[in-house]
Amino acid sequence: MFQTSAKTFSVLAATASAYRRVFLVGLRRYCKKTSTKLRVSEALSGAQLGADVKVQGWVRSVRPQKNNIFLHVNDGSSLQSLQIVADAKLNDPLLTFGSAVEVTGILKKSPHQKQPVELEAEQIRVVGECNPVNFPFKIKKRHSLEYIRQLPHLRCRTNAFSSLLRIRSEATAAIHSYFKNNGFVQIHTPIITSNDCEGAGELFQVEPSGPATVDDKNFFSVPAFLTVSGQLHLEVMSGAFSRVYTFGPTFRAENSQSRRHLAEFFMVEAEISFTESLEDLTKVIEDVFRSATERVLARCAEDVDLFHRHVTPGHRDTVEAMLNKSFPVISYTEAIDILHRSSEKFTFPTDWGCDLMTEHEKYLVKHCGNVPVFVTNYPYDLKPFYARDNQDHPMHTAAAVDLLVPGVGELCGGSLREERLNLLMDRLKRVGLEDTYNWYLDLRRFGSVPHGGFGLGFERYLQCVLGVDNIKDVIPFPRFSHSCLL
């Protein structure tokens, strides 16, 4: 029979107790409920009050006090930031304006009226530090759109531009939703093409940059360009689908640094088969504009309000007028008459047959009540080869339409397409494009139907709704003459 000494027993008991403590600590860690990860917008909704949550984002403000530290953290999901309240001992020298953090704690109702909830922090971890001295944006300072435009790699950190990007995302979804709900089939039209849809010649040619692979420059065996429009490819598809659309990037090699032009921008384009009426096109254009705008105003109210209060005060009234009033329709001939009767001194001529310039377009919008206005039936010679001939001599117009909007001018352009083979062949012969567009003539030879379509400039649409003067401020990475940053 073995005898256990009191000393040995004491050692064994202590060892057992230590193992028990380790086991219990491990058990508590294993059983502890994992913090619920929330976006800032979700936390602000108050749906998880009283819960142990985790929030990740970037510090918008830091306010240390004797006993506490107050932070505002934003993750891009909301214009409003989430207030973090923490014990002063959680302060960290790296916890600065612009730094990235991960915060865990209890979500509670805030005692202050300015925010519905606040996060009582139990742990704050600095994920990415930021030197506030070198950071080009300063705390509590409102930077102009012109200033943040110079920093395309950082401007998404500002309130104004993050609001713009949320609005842009919602408007994109709204446009896709409209077309889906109205029976349109989305077509991914190519970015590289051998066609010049507009006939303007302002194209970016595509060439290999490395060692030559095929015929030196002609990788595709024919000259290839970045697309200026997906229209002709949509017309191909409109021979099998009655309603099609595309939404993607387009390119213009226009040597301009004006507030209206970009080398790369996004276009919403649609084509409708079995239509002989411009009214069918104007109805879709107006419906797209209204449905997208109503959704943006409803779902991005705070973000839109930021622009309407600080960028273009009073513009909200203009937007509401656009939604509450029908869009008037005038002919090009009526537009010229309005310009002639005006006391305004225009820089460009206003004779019948002249193209409408931006100054003319903006005046016509104001004349019609500062709401969007459709201008129809332009001179035949002003429009591309595919526009339908109205055969209304001696004026000779084409069945084309533009939508002019406040603050921007032309937003949208479209036309009925020339479906009559003989007239289209004559037009192509006159401009020397019959061989180039022989495939396009095939569309008229095999099951052609009357059809029409339009293209809407997405960035100009955002300018119109938000009241932004410069088109470079409504696109994430603006490309224009002599500027291709990033």
Phi-psi region of 357 (alpha: psi -120 to 50; beta: other; left: phi over 0): beta
Check residue 1 and give its pLDDT: 46
The tens digit of pLDDT for each residue in 165-181 reads 999 999 999 999 999 99
The mean pLDDT of the chain is: 90
Decide: helix, strand or coil at residue 132.
coil
Question: Hey, which residues does 38 pair with through a beta bridge?
Answer: 55
CA distance 144 to 148: 6
CATH of domain 155-473: 3.30.930.10
CA distance 169 to 387: 33
Question: Long-range contacts of range 302-306, CB-CB < 8 Å, 24 or more positions apart?
Answer: 302/78, 302/79, 302/80, 302/163, 303/79, 303/163, 303/164, 303/166, 303/167, 304/163, 304/167, 304/465, 304/466, 306/79, 306/159, 306/160, 306/163
Residues 6+ apart with CB under 8 A from 177: 291, 295
Confidence check: pLDDT of 282 > 60: yes
The tens digit of pLDDT for each residue in 194-240 reads 886 655 558 998 888 776 655 566 788 888 899 999 999 999 999 99
User: What are the angstrom distances between the C-alpha of 56 and each of 43, 72, 273?
Assistant: 11, 11, 49
Check residue 27 and give its pLDDT: 47
DSSP for 166-207, written as a single string: HHHHHHHHHHHHHHHHTTPEE----SEES--SS-----PBP-
Q: How is the chain split into domains, by residue range?
A: 36-128, 155-473
CA distance 277 to 451: 9
For Cα atoms 246, 248, 254, give the angle at the middle one, nearest 5 degrees: 120
b/e per residue, 250-267, with b = 16+ CB within 10 A? bbbeeeeeeebebbbbbb
Q: State the pLDDT confidence band at 482, using cuts at 50, 70 and 90.
A: confident
CATH of domain 36-128: 2.40.50.140
Confidence check: pLDDT of 29 > 50: no
Rounded to 10 deg, the angle between the 358-367 and 332-341 helix axes is 90
Beta 243-251 vs 185-186: how paired, if at all? parallel
CA distance 292 to 232: 25
Burial-class residue 216 by CB neighbours within 10 Å (0-12, 13-18, 19+).
exposed
The tens digit of pLDDT for each residue in 127-144 reads 999 999 999 999 888 889
Cis peptide before 394 (omega within 30 of 0): yes
